Structure formats: structure tokens, C-alpha cells
Amino acid sequence: MGNKKRYTGAEILIDALQKEGVDTIFGYPGGVLIPLYDALYDCKTMDVVLTRHEQGAAHAADGYARVTGKAGVCMGTSGPGATNLVTGIATAFLDSIPMVAISGQVATPLLGTDAFQEADLVGVTRPITKHNFLVKDIKELPEVIKKAFYIANSGRPGPVLIDLPKDVTTATMTGYSYPETIEMRSYRPNLDGHPGQIKRAATAIKRAKKPLVYAGGGVIISGAQKELIHLAETIDAPVTTTLMGLGGFPGDHNLFVGMPGMHGSKAANYALQNSDLIISVGARFDDRVTGDVSKFAPHAKIIHIDIDPASISKIITVDIPVVGDAQRILAELNKVVQPAKHEEWRAYLHGFKESYLYGYKNKSDVLMPQYVIEEMHRITGGDAFVTTDVGQHQMWAAQYYHFANPRRWITSGGLGTMGFGLPSAMGASFALDRGPVWSISGDGGFQMNLQELATIKINKLPVKIIILNNKYLGMVRQWQDIFFNKRYSSVCLTADCSCDGCGTEQECDTRGSYMPDFIRLSESYDIPARRVTDPGSITEALEWARDTEGPVLLECMVSPEANVFPMVAPGAALDEIIEDEELQDE
């Protein structure tokens, strides 16, 4: 762009997004964003996706970012449009997902006057963004945009908000040029680990008798899967990956012991509790993993490799911290670690996974949700892109779809956002150039953002929607089942207002009146749909979903009483495991 012509703030923003390589924007227009959308009208290099809700736009940008590794871009107008982005921004923040969110704002003379659709988005998003900007002068705009993408994509990734008053988008300036690089004295992420700490880590690994690699989402973000496999195989160490780390290490590798934590495998939890050295890579010791912190890994020294120095010893005291990019540090560590064998240690853990990492009792007369995921894994070859909402179905997908490759597993791990699955699948499909994505939801979560069916249909996205319908808010019901004496308060999605709760499906005479009818709902969006009720039909139905062009919806009527096992109660130690009684009786 030359220096003589005058350009509006909106035109500068669009040009800057193009220079950052943005090819897709998810958003919803409104009064103060009209100048921006007017500038986008003639843009031929970017997909401008009109979602049906700003929350859907934010989750779609998130899904796009998780597949590509690049910052997703979303925008909403001032006031409620911008606040509707907030759940999506917080979801990205908790999972370290790069995102640039653009919120419209009232004109600068109106700031602080409670003007129509004014909301303090800088204040609202301060705790849930890596950084945010309120642009008050068009001259600030180019540098702000450059900084926003640099901050979002570098170090520990995260969302950055640009709050853009209307008069900034309509102001004009000459002499515009977009900076090629940016310098920020107060923000310089450390990428290379300290050589002395890497050497200390190698020495500790050499002395360990029961080493365990505990890998998180940082492995995927940094692209360190190859280096992680090399390290684990060299030192013959079992590997457990967090919910966010699934796919960072192959789920079918003989060293893999499953996911740890509340719904982790017995092998993974016993590994953490009995290890003498935990090598944590890009994981943050979330409370869903550690359980009772005072009883966590009582025999282990801990090496913590993480790009965020604030994560070191934040929850668990660390013996050897190594701050930097996981891929770079593992590459250096692999140069100095000594090959080792730990047959006895691996044999001990293998005893917990001899026949399975997870288990359930399959039935011939009831469709089990675990079986649906297993069949889905089989007919997709185990390499599908999968999104979920949050709840029981999320845990079953994590347990039974054995992810072998990174960036295939797209789920809200940190914030636990219901309604994430469908719009994030939409964004992931755009990232794959309208490629196929499988979206697994429960019947509760699916209803939180189902309006995006329209966006999916209109854009011809091959999103394969699987609803595991147990007619409950299943995970809450499970907690009420185990910890609240089966007092099922406000979790049954079929009971009418006169119902005061129930114990079993057999006692209930209202369960047939489920609302909405997902088949008719889907067909109203011109999306083909089927309902499956018996186990014998699920394979053919999944193959139909896979082979049908474009989006489809498959409603699977699964066992209402199925629970997620194993389970560690909140606040318990990791080896205080609640197991499936049906399996124990066999």
C-alpha cells in the first residue's frame, strides 16, 4: 500500500490481516463494524464467514487455530456482540490457543458515557487474554495489529483482543506502512532451555529407575512429537499424555499408558504415583490431573519443561525447571541422554493395561457410548479430526479414540465449555479447506450452539455430527449418582415441570417426550439425519455418515445409566480409583 493515498482505519486493518496471512475471518456484523464489513466487501483473498452467533465465531476461530497452528481471527460488534465473544476467548486462553479477537467499540468521544451498546471489553477480557488493546488513534493501528499477532503466536500462545472504536475505523491517514517486525522490550519469550538445566535433567534421567514422561498440549503446540517419541524410546520410559496432549504421543505406542487424572487410566495414575522421576513436557499439572496435590507423585523428582516460566512450581514444586520451547529443549536433551532399559518398571505398569487401558461391559440390547466411539475409530482409520463438547462423551472420546497424530483432537480442556464442539468443528473444517471433521456432542452441549447448523450447511462443510443422546446432562448426573445418593436434580432433559426426579429409566413415564426432535431439527436445516437405537445398526450408520457428501447428523440413543470409569473423586489421591462395578463382578 503506497504512502500518498489516504486510507481508512478499516482498510488498514484489512490490509494488515492480509499481510499476516489471514485467509479466514469468523464474525457477525453490527452497527459499529459496518465500516469494517464494508471494507471486506471487496476483499477477494479472505473467507469472511458469517456465523449465527458471536460465540460460534470465537469457537470457530479456535478450531481453525488448533488445526493450523496459526492465530484464528474472530470479530463481533460493540456491546453484546463483543461480550458474546468472551466465552470463546476464555476457552482459548485456558488452552493456550492463538487467537486475535476484534471487538467493535463506540466512538472515542462516547467512551465512558454508557452509550448505546458500550461495554468495557478491555476490562472484561483482561484476565482472559494474553494482552489486549484499545485503539484510540488510527496512527496506532498498524503497530497494534503487528503486536497482536506476534503476542498471540509466540511464547505460550493465547488470545489477544483489539478493541476498535468506530471513529478509528472511519478515520483516515496517509503514509501508512505495515511493520515487517516488532520489538517489545517487556516481552521476549525464551525459546532455548538453559544448557546447565538440560544437563541436570539428563543426569536425573540416567539415575532414574522408574522414569515417566508426562506430556501436555505444549508438545503439540511446539510440534515436538518426533522428539518426544525419540526421548521415550531412548530412555525406555512409559508415557502418559494429558487431555490436551492426546495425539502428542501415539495412542497405540507400546510405551503409552493412557491419559492421567480424574478419568485417566489405572496404568497412568499408578505410574504417576509410583514413579521416581517425572519428565513433564508442556503440561501444567491441572487439578483434574493431580487430584490431592499433597499426595501427588510422592516418590518422584520432577523435571518441568515449559515455555511459560509462570507455570514452573505454580502447583507442584519442581526439582529441575527448564524454560523454553518443548521441541527445541527435547532436541537438545536427546543429544545428551543415555540409552536405558526399564523392563521391570514397564512390566509393573503393563499389568494394569494387559487387556485394555479402559473397560466397559458391552451389551447386545443397549447401545453403549463407548462402543460408538470404538466403531467410529475403526471406520475412520483412527486419523479423523474430532471435536467435542464437554462432559461424558468428551471423556469417552478421549479414552476410546486412540489418537495417533497431533492436532486431530480438538476439545475444551481448561475451561470445559459446553457448546464448543459444533462451531469448533466448523472452524477446523475451514482450516482443512472444507475437509471432513467429526463433531461429537452430548444432547445437552449440542443445544448450546446448534444455530451453527445453518453456517455449516450454507458453507457446505462436511461436518459429521454425532450426538450421544442419553437424555441427561450426563456428567452431572454421574456425580449425583456417585456423590449425591442418586438425587438427580435438574439433569433429566425429558422430564416435565411436575417431575420431582427419578431413579431409573424404567420408573419414568416421561422419557419418551424428548425435545427437540434432533432429526426433524437437522432436516429443517436441510442436513440429512438418522437415529440409531440398537448396537447392531451403529456400524452401518457411521459408514453412512462417513460416506455421505456434506454435513450429516447421527443421533445415537445410548444407555442413560452409563458412567465414565475409571474415576478419581475430586480431592482424592490418584490411586484412590473408583472402578466400574459391572466389570468387577465379572
Q: Which residues are catalytic?
A: 54, 116-117, 166, 475
- 337 vs 504: CA distance, rounded Å: 56
- Peptide bond preceding 551: is omega within 30 degrees of 0, i.e. cis? no
- 573 vs 278: CA distance, rounded Å: 17
Neighbours of 542 (CB within 10 A): 23
Q: Which residues contact 67 (CB under 8 A, 6 or more apart)?
A: 385, 407, 410, 427, 428, 431, 432
Helix/strand/coil for 132: strand
User: Kind of pairing, strands 172-173 and 7-8?
Assistant: antiparallel
The dihedral through the CA atoms of 7, 9, 11, 12 has a sign that is positive
- 413 vs 409: CA distance, rounded Å: 11
Query: 338 exposed, middle or buried (CB, 10 Å; 0-12, 13-18, 19+)?
Result: exposed
Q: Which three cell numbers stand for residue 78?
A: 460493540
Q: What is the number of helices (H) and of strands (E) in the chain?
A: 24, 21
Q: Which three cell numbers stand for residue 34?
A: 459496518
The candidate with the shortest Cα–Cα distance to 109, out of 161, 162, 163, 168, is 168
